[in-house]
Amino acid sequence: MAAQAKESGIGLAADWLFGYFIVFIRDSELSHRVFANVRPDAFQLTGHPFGRKLWGADNIIYKFGDEHKELRRRIAPNFTSRALSTYAAIQQRVILAHLRRWLDRSAAAGNKSMPLLVPFRDMNLETSQAVIVGPYLTEETTEMLHKDYSIFIGGIVAVPVDLPGFVFRRARLAGERLRRLLAECARESKARMRAGGEPECLADYGIQEMVRHIDEAANAGLPPPANTADENVASYLFDFLFAAQDNVTSLLCSAVSALETHPDVLARVRAEVATIWSPESGELITAEMIQEMKYTQAVAREVVRHRPPGPLAPHIALQPFQLTEWYTVPKGAMVFPSVYESSFQGFHSPETFDPDRFFSESRREDVAYKRNFLAFGAGAHQCVGQRYALYHLTLFIALFVTVAEFQRDRTERCDELLYVPTIVPRDGCAVYLKQRCAS
């Protein structure tokens, strides 16, 4: 439908597909019209055509108006500079441990190429669970989380048959178990934050302020504030777990592919990082160091623009909606604003991977074409974790290019994109790896 929308000249295409009426939106401004009208009498963001069953009906993406604003306000402390600094130390320990493992495996295999997609996925699952609820996981619950998350991911691309024995049913049940596990983590975090503990993970940063509001309400004889029950907290923690896992895995594959294909960009990143941090120093990269890596940050932003991990933002039309003067979206239609198509509109030579568009003071394409940069959505439901995603991507790029030499295993069609449901290279980003630094 992307080709149809482009050929139409009107920025969209509509047709029946698998029994559903689909509206595919290519034009950035029309996408903004959808993002700006997520409300009971217009559109509902779904994240997935059958997301309510998979993520649960209480998920943040299904909330509207004041309730949605209040929940986002409660989540805001999770992404302060102080919180991101805490996460950076956790992320690095996990990333460096996995890098050591990959380099050893590559050397033991006689330097054969290694697809990084699955290793990235494993690393990101460990990173995200450590960042989100790490202190509250045991060895046993960590294993349970890994197992159930793998089952859940299988359901996202499965035929949506919610009957015993089908992949979708197993995924739905795995999602329920994951939310129960995260609710228990939330319960433990509340107890520790109430006792005056210092935040050590993402859950703690949001819950620290939350327990104060709960206790103030209790002292005043009032019920707990909305969205503060353990199950509510588990719902948004589950969101973060998913977004920090598959979306970031897609971005890491895209970053490695882009850097290997553009040696001039790779050289500039390595030179910048070398002036700020050395792996031989024995020290971790600090939040202040990441802020100094301006070009590396620009590379991360260009990776997101060039290869947005979630290419579509599924919505459902809850009522007929007049999208343009001449077209009304019918009630019940699945509406897909394409953040991928939008990323290639307006920008100078949009097909080219060019971090300078976000780095050069004279170009400032991040300002000029801000409305086309929709990888994190827009409007009230814009991704709350975008700062975390860019922070993590910048940190990984700095570590990876400094510690490892890498070269893509160039096979036929290796760079073709697969949708699973995030975008990844067909070959799983296969590379030859060897250690670059002395230690």
Say whether 152 sits in a helix, a strand or coil.
helix
Cβ burial, residue 296 (10 Å; 0-12/13-18/19+): buried
Residue list, annotated binding site for heme: 383
Rounded Cα distance between 153 and 417, Å, is: 19
At which residue do the structure tokens 């799983």 appear? 428
Rounded Cα distance between 73 and 331, Å, is: 31
Residue list, annotated binding site: 383
**Lowest mean per-residue pLDDT among 5-9, 51-55, 145-149, 377-381:** 5-9
Rounded Cα distance between 399 and 411, Å, is: 26
Residue positions counted in the chain: 439
For 236-276, write each residue's pLDDT tens digit: 899 888 877 788 999 999 999 999 999 999 999 999 999 99
Q: Quick check: 111 pLDDT over 80?
A: no
Confidence (pLDDT) at 117: 93
At which residue do the structure tokens 């963001």 appear? 45
Confidence (pLDDT) at 188: 97
Q: What would the mean pLDDT of 355-362 be, rounded to a whole number?
A: 94
Q: Domains along the chain?
A: 36-308+343-435 (1.10.630.10)
Q: How confident is the model at residue 38 (pLDDT cuts 50, 70, 90)?
A: very high
Query: In percent, how much of the chain has pLDDT > 70?
Result: 100
Q: Which residues of 3-26 are buried (b: 16+ CB within 10 A; e: fewer)?
A: eebeeeeebbbbeeeeeebbbbbb
Q: What would the mean pLDDT of 353-372 be, rounded to a whole number?
A: 93
Rounded Cα distance between 2 and 25, Å, is: 8
Confidence (pLDDT) at 58: 78
Q: How confident is the model at residue 296 (pLDDT cuts 50, 70, 90)?
A: very high
Confidence (pLDDT) at 5: 74
Rounded Cα distance between 90 and 344, Å, is: 34
Confidence (pLDDT) at 19: 80
At which residue do the structure tokens 């046993």 appear? 140
Confidence (pLDDT) at 244: 76
Q: How confident is the model at residue 155 (pLDDT cuts 50, 70, 90)?
A: confident
For 195-247, write each residue's pLDDT tens digit: 999 999 999 999 999 999 999 999 999 999 988 999 999 998 998 888 777 88
CB 261 within 8 Å of CB 410: no
Rounded Cα distance between 263 and 267, Å, is: 6
CA distances to 340, 348, 368, 421 from 345, in Å: 10, 9, 12, 23
